[in-house]
Chains A and B, each alone.
Chain A
């Protein structure tokens, strides 16, 4: 039963509930009415039979008094019209059957069923009503009318049928009314259900349960719609967030792919560069080895013939010098000078080449000692005029001492060399602090100077700004200086004015705490 109920739809349940309620009410009312009516009918019947018995008692008193059963029978015969009366019996005071009327049935019993007083009794489906027959307060006998209850049964049946009819009509009307009414309740619910199904199955949050609906269902529908609106809003937000997120993910993915591509390209580039660098390094190494063996050969094999030229010219001059004329002797001097010059060139070139190849031995170099040592050496190459030296207190620097020595040998010997023609040669060595742990050392002379137009040529190999007759030299010294300073991470430059001296600047790395 419960399962059955569970399967019923809301309209059917409502209908069933309504029907059950109204039917029960109808049944109770009908049953009550029927019971009341049956009682009333019975009371009426008893009253009617009582009246008939009273009438008969009234009219049969004389017959009893006069012992005239025939008259009594005549009186009883009026009961013929009463179809339901089956028999009527009159008993004397002594209980003897005095007269009887029999319509149907078994007839009167020989003795009365009642003692005397007005009373009635129901026996089976028979009703017995008794009335005393009294004449002048003298109780002469008793009349008993026995009738069936067909009348009552017929009435009951009538009542039942009409009740049934009324019930059916009422039920039908109730059903119709209930059907109509339940729709006002169940339709919003059904709509709500359908909407909920739509929402859950199609994820369509645009739908709304149709309204308006009365009472709590209206509130329910409104709440549901509001909830839907909220869900829809959140759904939209969610979709927006999702698409935004997807967009960002796609964007980021693209970016990453781009970055990856760029990185891969960069890596390829680096690899390519590395390979190129490695092969270049190999080339450079090979080249360096070649240069080294070349300079080794140069230093050994190129100098030997020069030494021979120089040596045999000298031997020739010793042996035959006196017999030669001045021109021949000059020729010999030129040959010897050329060989000597060539020797210097080779030495300088080798030194220059060595400066590029040799590893830097970085150490702390105290410039005062170095400069003083070099100064004394350079002074030896000086002419007759004494040089006024002005050497400021110098700091310690970082670098390869042997190489830095070459730098200062070149700078100071140049200063000495180009100051020779000046009446009062003056050479100044000092320094100024610089940025990034660097400092600038300068060597200033008041010598012949040079035209700044040619400053760019100053540091090139074999570049000379003066004629060899005026100033001896190979044109490699400043190139060597620049190479060494560059290898130390510094730079070198010069300022000069013809006839007013030159200043050479060299930037070097100062030591920690210097």
Chain B
């Protein structure tokens, strides 16, 4: 994957899950393009180039993988902010979550999520789900590029 393909933003508070997700994506050469933030607050700072991400030079991520339950600002709130902002709403957002609670699913789609993936307990299935998602949004999906990327 070249720089021009853009980066994947993974918002996940659990280090184990971060590692497993990295491992799952690494099989498809996507691991090097992942930026990880550890909560919703950080995700928003990353997206809006604020705080510690004020000097970020990379363009908007090609896909955001959002954990639902996170400290400070949860995944649903990040989703709401992204989809409510005209400059961000084009970025595909995938919910990666332990929960298959219907209310979360319903709320996510109401807020405009692009995909909702329940992380299976079985690692093989987990890898399958994550790589498929990552591949689709990072490689196959043709995202409209409204915001020009500085590196392009």
Contact = CB atoms under 8 A, between A and B. Distances in A.
A426 interface: no
A193 to B, nearest CB: 103
B11 to A, nearest CB: 15
Nearest to A295: B101
Interface in B33-91: 68-69
Given A296-B101, A299-B99, A300-B68, A310 B14 contact: no
Given A300-B68, A304-B14, A307-B20, A343 B99 contact: no
B16 A299 contact: no
A303 B101 contact: no
A383 interface: no
Interface stretch (A221-229, A312-320, A374-382): A312-320
B14 A296 contact: no
Contacts of B99: 296, 299-300
B120 A313 contact: no
Given A308-B16, A315-B23, A340 B101 contact: no
A310 B122 contact: yes
Contacts of B122: 310, 336, 340, 343
B68 A306 contact: no
B100 interface: yes
Contact of A311 (B97, B98, B102, B123): B123
B121 A301 contact: no
Contact of A307 (B17, B68, B69, B102): B17
Classify chain A's interface size.
20 to 34
B123 A310 contact: yes
Interface residues of B, number: 20
A192 B100 CA distance: 110
Contacts of A340: 121-122
Interface in A290-341: 295-296, 299-301, 303-304, 306-308, 310-315, 336, 339-340
A300 B69 contact: yes
A343 B98 contact: no
Contacts of B101: 295-296, 299
A244 B102 CA distance: 74
A313 B126 CA distance: 13
Given A304-B17, A311-B16, A311-B20, A343 B68 contact: no
B98 A301 contact: yes
Contact of B121 (A296, A300, A306): A306
A307 B124 contact: no
B7 interface: no
A342 interface: yes
Contacts, number: 63
A79 to B, nearest CB: 173
A308 B120 contact: no
Interface string B13-30: 010110010010000000
Contacts of A304: 14, 16-17, 98
Contacts of B97: 300
Contacts of A350: 100
Given A312-B16, A340-B121, A307 B100 contact: no
A343 B121 contact: yes
A306 B124 CA distance: 13
B120 A343 contact: yes
Contacts of B17: 304, 307-308
Contacts of B69: 300-301
Interface in B99-126: 99-102, 119-124, 126
A336 B124 CA distance: 11
A315 B121 CA distance: 14
Given A300-B69, A315-B23, A310 B98 contact: no
Given A314-B123, A339-B121, A343-B120, A308 B98 contact: no
Contacts of B120: 307, 343
Contacts of A299: 98-101
Contacts of B123: 307, 310-311, 313-315, 336
Given A299-B99, A312-B16, 11 more contacts: A299-B98, A299-B100, A300-B97, A303-B121, A304-B14, A315-B23, A336-B122, A339-B121, A340-B122, A347-B100, A354-B102
Interface of B: 14, 16-17, 20, 23, 68-69, 97-102, 119-124, 126
26 contacts: A295-B101, A296-B99, A296-B101, A299-B99, A300-B68, A300-B69, A300-B97, A300-B98, A301-B98, A304-B17, A306-B121, A307-B17, A308-B16, A308-B17, A308-B20, A311-B123, A311-B126, A313-B123, A314-B124, A315-B23, A315-B123, A336-B123, A339-B121, A340-B121, A343-B122, A354-B102
The 10 A-B pairs at the shortest CB distance, nearest first, are namely: A343-B121, A314-B123, A311-B123, A311-B20, A308-B16, A303-B98, A299-B99, A300-B98, A306-B121, A310-B123
